Structure 1
Amino acid sequence: MSDIAKVYLVDDDLDFREATKELLDDENIPTQIFDRGKAMLSTLDPEWDGVVLCDVKMPTMDGFEVLSAAQEIAPEVPFIMMTGHGDIPMAINAVKAGAYSFLEKPVQPAYLLSQINQALNHRKLMLENYRLRRRVLRFSDMGIYFMGTSKAIKLCRKKMLDVAPLPVPVMLYGEAGTGKALAARTIHEFSEVSGEFYDIDCGTLSEEELSRILVLPEHKESTIFLRALHQMPLNLQNILVGFLRQSKGPRIIASVKGDPAALLAEGGLGEELYYLFNVATIELPPLKERGKDISLLLDSFMQDAAKKFNKRRKMISPEQLQAFHKYDWPGNVRELRSAAERTIIGLAVDLKARLGGKTQGQNISYEQAMYDFEKSLLEQTLTESGGHKGEAAKLLSIPRKRLYLRLKSVGLLE
């Protein structure tokens, strides 16, 4: 099969093709044979870990023409040339053209095998070095994808980098808003998979949809991110268990809110699925444990918001910044981004009322609940309208004058 072949043998001599393939098969070297160079070139991949073994004298395209075309497609794949009419100048020309080696027929089986194994080992070493260099370079850039200089986030990035190239399912867990979707995408970007990244909401997934997603051919070399895995019904979890046991198909990354062990105890995660994911679990730290990362993220989010809403960048006073650092951020990075956007739009960001999360779980009056709801609704609408109050009034289907009055009543307008 072409997807497991380690040698592509190109020769118009049927007897030689069959005899050489039998020799290589006996040595457990999977081989695919071609009688023309053009057919081989259509399957050649620059990331293939095999070797091309090609005759020189062939109709339509001779070995040198095949070598030239192969150099355009996959220049680092070793190309061994053979001929029954060889001479020293031809051998020199072959090596100059990029051939790994040049063999003269008839080739002794032992020597042919030694040349192929050398070329395969050379190719394996090249790919390993390439992947190592890519990981080292990407490690220096991971902070661009997943920002922060705190000890907690550095440890998180290290774990992400460690699991990225491994063919294992990954479980991301932590509080809401800690960036689990961004972490999943970052792992995908730093992995060895060549396909796309698919974000799937488990809360709305049907059995038919899950089964189809897992077996789609275009997903084979991709990453499937299963968001909120604990919301997936147990019958669907069993389907996923069966898929993960096969160790084939797309890379699976899942996220859950909270501690996976606690979700297992509560019945949100099935036992088999829990242990399949338990090989690689990564906790996303809450923002309150990331110290000075708050300033770094706030600055980045404000820059993004200024571009998004086409507004000038605003300065944060030392007092405001101090309040940002004292706040416990129950909504984590997601809430910080929202606060940055409100700041750029020109809306008040009142953190005092929830410092330390003291309102969490407390009984509040009907009036306070209505006040909080209205304020939240107005903030969300202004964010959606980019701070344009006329557009916000239209979204709410109220006169602009009434909008101004309501904004003043909840402290969003002086």
Structure 2
Amino acid sequence: MDVAFIDDDETLRAANVQSLVLAGLAVTPYPSAVAALDELDADFPGVVVSDIRMPRVDGLELFRRLKRLDPDLPVILITGHGDIAMAVDAMREGAYDFVAKPFAVDRLIGSIRHALEKRRLVLENRALRRAAETASEDLPLIGTTPVMERLRQTLHQVADADVDVLVEGETGAGKDVVANALHRWSHRAARPFVAVNCGALPETVIESELFGHEPGAFTGAQRKRVGRFEHAHGGTLFLDEIEAMSPALQVKLLRVLEAREITPLGTNEVRRVDVRMVAATKTDLPSLVRQGTFREDLYYRLHVVAVRVPPLRERREDVPLLFGHFLARAAKRFRREPPPLNATVRMRLEQHDWPGNVRELVHYAERVALGLDGGEAQPAAPGPAPQGTLPERVDAYEASLIREALAAAQGDVRSAIAALGLPRKTFYDKLRRHGIDQTRYRPA
């Protein structure tokens, strides 16, 4: 984030700016309040520090104009001894702080850092509210990270093609959302989308569920049942946890996929089905093929097009956006206003590994909406042990922090530098060393 520093005294302005830059702050100096007002707006991602005594527009008038622009913009006033009473009155009106001359630079730096933290929370809350207003159930696969952009692009490319798709991803990553998107973005959108969790159905009923049965086909089959394949005719059949299918059922599924024909239990009648199938798995199917528990021919039949849904830990920059959407949805469901994002919630969003992925984030948003979470910091779940030598681990961690800072700042270098507390030259040196392109983090 930035510090806008305003002082008409060139010598004092230069000295204070130098002190703030040496402290790792990104500073933009202005020689007058008029010059600052020409550039500052309600989205300024930082703090304003201004001397009070200036010609034309003084610091108090500057503060009042900025307050009309954005009541939450922190303004710190630098006062002479005779201006302390005015500064106190300004604080009653909403100024963040005042620093009386002569002052220790550490006093000013401390006040700026606290104000920056407050500003960061305000802007993050605004961003979450904007995300909540724009996101809806019709916006699947929320995220702006490169991996999510590539996933959406791939889905758009194959959605309208009559090709079966294998969706791979961890539990809770959103494989069902991907399957639904493939259906809604295809020419089959007006026809049924039928979902079946293969792992949730007992072996004794899954064949009937998929292919249907006629009356008397087995004990208890008193009425005809239309199977899921037939029900999905013209649309999409989503088979989740495909790895849970028995070898015998895998054979029958392979036959259906190759011929697009089913034979319900209790009849010899062959029925044609026009179905686009999307299968999903949370396990490594090639390893199951090697173990002999999953048919190799079925795997390759499903693997014509395969897409992988990344876990949340691989797209941490998307977590606040997703959280804002889920928080607004939960608040609407519970008929209450979405609570503001505090430091504890923000810390969890940034540091937690989310082993339960999107599903875990949804439940966390619901607890926050109900006021049941967010008061105390929760320890992050332990991740896998890092690999490599100690210098390699340190480099990897440093690179991840830089990427997170750039993502949070939407590619704004000054904001990232301020958040990291690095000198500008050091920051650019680290970008080159880690091969990080800061332009990738700017909004499209």
Using CA pairs under 8 Å that are at least 6 residues apart, name the structure with larger relative contact order, 1 or 2.
2
TM-score (norm 1): 0.49
